[in-house]
Amino acid sequence: MSEVKVTFSTSRLPGADQLVDRLPPVLRIQSIARFPFDERHMLCQAVLFHEQAGLKVEWLCRQPDNRLTAGALVSIRWLGRPVSTTGAIRISRLVKLERPEASLNPFATIPHSWVKDRPLVARAAQLWEGLGRPLQHLFNAIFWDHHRFERYLDGPSSLAGHHNGRNGNFRHAVEVAERALALASHHAEAHLPVLLASSLLHDAGKAEEYRFNGRHRRFEMTERGTLLGHKHTVL
């Protein structure tokens, strides 16, 4: 993954055209807010995240797009040459990406608030690269819903057993994939992309099995988890 870090924060944007060309085509909304601007417009502001770039953007709209929420994957529609206004880049609008794209490594779009262990995120991103395009598309289709993806990353793998803390399910999936690759190194007939996909997705259903109870400050089993379980949900 590229180490280039682009952050727009000043009123002057020297070489803005070159910087825009280096921005990833897809970013994740970290936060979004809307303010009254005039009789016909709202001022929308959003903070966008990608491992390669972080920036704040703003645009005017008559009808706010309620599909644009924190966590959504979006692309930027530019408004001429990028200029900064009070620390935000003026754009034409953001477009929510409704259809999963196989080319996007979703682990490159995980905000720090979702997973603080960045080496773990980097390990997952490297594993995803080994899936091959068809299975990358499958993985992205399953987790294009950002709510599901966040729960997959945030939740535990169990309530009282192994990996029972925050990000436990994610850590477990990465560790299983890495151990599977180590075992497969002794078997030339093993199909590594399928092995990786199976490892990363085997507990994907746990995204619907646990929910964090803010009142009690703990993860609890959902009704679906109790009645069906993650093994059926993942199917």
For residue range 212-221, what is the model confidence (pLDDT) as tens digits? 777 877 777 7
Domain harbouring 91, CATH code:
2.40.50
pLDDT digits (tens, 9 = 90+) for 144-185: 999 999 999 988 876 676 777 788 999 999 999 999 999 998
Tell me, yes or no, whether 130 and 205 share the same domain. yes
- Residue 20 covered by a domain: yes
Q: What averages of pLDDT result for each successive group of 10 residues across the chain (235 residues)?
A: 41 57 92 93 95 92 92 93 82 95 96 96 97 96 94 80 82 95 90 94 81 76 67 66
Say what the pLDDT of residue 69 is.
96
Q: In terms of DSSP bridges, do strands 88-90 and 53-61 run parallel, antiparallel, or are they unpaired? A: parallel
Say what the pLDDT of residue 18 is.
64
Q: In terms of DSSP bridges, do strands 42-50 and 53-61 run parallel, antiparallel, or are they unpaired? A: antiparallel
Tell me, yes or no, whether 140 and 213 share the same domain. yes
Say what the pLDDT of residue 178 is.
97
End-of-domain residue from the set 38, 66, 96: 96
Segments forming the whole domain that contains residue 15: 6-96
- Residue 1 covered by a domain: no
Other CB atoms within 10 Å distance of the CB of residue 24: 18
Q: How many domains does the chain have?
A: 2
Q: Give CA–CA dist 154/149, Å, rounded.
A: 9
